[in-house]
Structure 1
C-alpha cells in the first residue's frame, strides 16, 4: 500500500504558535470548586484501594466525568496540550491523594500503559542522584530535547517544582508541518519514510534498541507526528541502522530549527499540583534545565509521569505507530 502524503497546510485549533497566544494561560484549565468537591468524593470512595488502580470504568468518580470529557476534547480537537491547575497540594491534598486524582482522571481519558519493560505504570522524575531514578535524558538536570512519546497522551503531575527552571516547552507539530510545506515541499515524501528511533535503553524485551517510525504520517485523514531528533541521530550507534544521508540530516536539522524559531514554542512554568496532558501526535515537547534546592524539599523537582493510551477512541495511526499504543511490555 502506498504512503499517503499530505501536500497542503493543516488547519484547525491544533495549529498554533506562541506568537498566536496571549500567554501560556491559554493552555490552562482551572479546577472549579465543584470539581474539587467531586475529587474529595472520589478519594473517599476509593479509600483502601491501591493508588494506581483499579481498571477504567470501575473508578468511583462520576463527578469527574465532565472534567475528563473536557480534557479529551481539548487534547483531541483542541490545542493538544492542557494544564489542569488549582489542585491545592500540601493543604487540601497530600502527594498520595494528588497522585490518586491524577490516576483517576487518566483512567477516564484512556488506559494507563507501561513506560518500560519492567511494566511501571507510573514513574516519578526527579534528581538523577536519587537511587530509585532511572537514567536517561528525562532524568537529567540539563534541558531535555524535543521529543514525542510513543503513547497517545503523556500526563504529568507536579509534586514539587525545582528552585529554578524545569519549564515545559511545547510546540504544535502541525505548525512545523505547515512551515515544511511552505518552505521545503521537496522534503515532504522524505519525512513520511521510517526513521530508526533510539529507545534510549527502554525497549521492550526481545526488541532491538531502536524502532522504525515515520516523522509524519496520515491515517484516516489525520496528520500525526512522531519526532525525536536526538534519538533519530543516536540510533546510528547501532551497527544495523543505516547512516543518515546528507539530505536526511539536513531535513532533520531544519525541523529542529523550526522548533527553536522565536515565537514558535511556548514555555510553561510548573506549579505544585499542576497536571499536564500532552497529545503526543499533535504536540512535541521538551524541558528546560533546572536547579534544585537541596535544603528545601518543596523546591526539589518531582514529577509523576503517566502514559495513556486512547485505544480505539484515539486517532487512527499507521501500523508503525499503532503497535506502541499499548506501551512498552
Structure 2
C-alpha cells in the first residue's frame, strides 16, 4: 500500500500550529443560509461545501451562527441539524437501543446513558465507528469541555519518521471494545486495523487506544504483546505531544462535523455553572454514514 510507505501531504495533514492564524474550519452561516434552512430551500451549495471540507479538506468543519434561543428554539435547532445530516448521508444508530440522536448533558441526569461521554472527566482520544460524527452545541459548559482534534495523517507521518519498524504493527487488525453498546446478539468487540487505505488508496484511521486495551477483557480476544502495547502508548503520546492537537471551544449554535477516518478526537473535562442554564453543557450528537 503506497500510502503506508510514504510521507503524506495535503490539506488533511495539519497541526495546531497550522491553525494559529485563524479558524479555517469554521463556515459562518449567512442570512441566505438561514433563510434556506427556514424555508427548506435548495441547500446544495452548503452541503457541497461541507462535504468538500470533510472529504477533501482538513476533515473537520464547524457551521457557526445558528441563533439558538432567539431565532430558534432548541427543538428547532435540532431539526435543522438533522436536516443537514440527512443531506450528507444516512443517520445511523449509536448504541444498542438504536438511538439515532443522543443528547449529552449533565452526567447526573437520570436519563443519561452510561459511557465515557456521560462523564464530566476528559474523554480519551478515539474515532467512532461511523463516517461522520456531528454535534449540535445547545449550550457550552461553564468552563472546560473543549473539543480536541488531531490529524490522523500527521500522526501517521510522525510514526513513519520516528518508528518505521512499527508500520506493520499498525496495519494489523486490533480488537476494539464496543463498551456494551453492541446490538443484541452481536459480539462485544469488533476488529479493524489502526491504519489502512481505502479503495482509492487514501489513508484511513481507526484508533481508540483505551478501547483496544479494554477489549482484552473478552476471553476470545488475543492478548496484546509488549511491542504492540508500546506502539499504542507511543501513538497516544503523539496525540498529546504539544502542538499536535487543536483545542476548539464550541459556542451555542455551533454544528460540528468530524470525519472519523481522518481526524482523531477527544474532549477536555468540564464544569457546569449550576446558576446559569446557558453554561450547562448540552450537545446533541448524530452519527452519519456517507458511503
1:227 and 2:207 aligned: yes
Pairing partner for 1:276 from 239, 246, 256: 256
SS of equivalent residue, structure 1 residue 236: helix
Pairing partner for 2:127 from 148, 152, 162: 148
Equivalent in the alignment of 1:185 = 164
State how many pairs are aligned: 290
| 1:24-60 deviation line (CA, Å, top 9, x unaligned) | 6121110011101111212xxxxxxxxxxxxxxxxxx
- Following TM superposition, the consecutive aligned residue runs of length 4 or more in structure 1 with deviations greater than 2 angstroms are none
Verify the 8 A CA contact 2:13 2:58 in the aligned structure 1.
Answer: yes
Verify the 8 A CA contact 1:229 1:252 in the aligned structure 2.
Answer: yes
Equivalent in the alignment of 1:51 = none
Alignment partners' CA distance in 1, 2:21 and 2:113: 34
Equivalent in the alignment of 2:242 = 262
TM-score (norm 1): 0.86
Pairing partner for 1:292 from 262, 268, 272: 272
Verify the 8 A CA contact 1:156 1:275 in the aligned structure 2.
Answer: yes
Equivalent in the alignment of 1:320 = none
Equivalent in the alignment of 2:184 = 205
Give unpaired runs (5+ residues) of structure 1: 43-60, 312-329
CA RMSD of aligned residues (A): 1.2
SS of equivalent residue, structure 1 residue 307: strand
Pairing partner for 2:15 from 14, 17, 33: 17
Equivalent in the alignment of 1:7 = 5
Equivalent in the alignment of 1:76 = 55
Equivalent in the alignment of 1:49 = none
Q: Map of 1:77-226 to 2, 5 A cutoff?
A: 77-220=56-199, 221-226=201-206
Verify the 8 A CA contact 1:5 1:189 in the aligned structure 2.
Answer: no
Alignment partners' CA distance in 1, 2:280 and 2:75: 17
SS of equivalent residue, structure 1 residue 138: helix
TM-score (norm 2): 0.97
Give unpaired runs (5+ residues) of structure 2: none
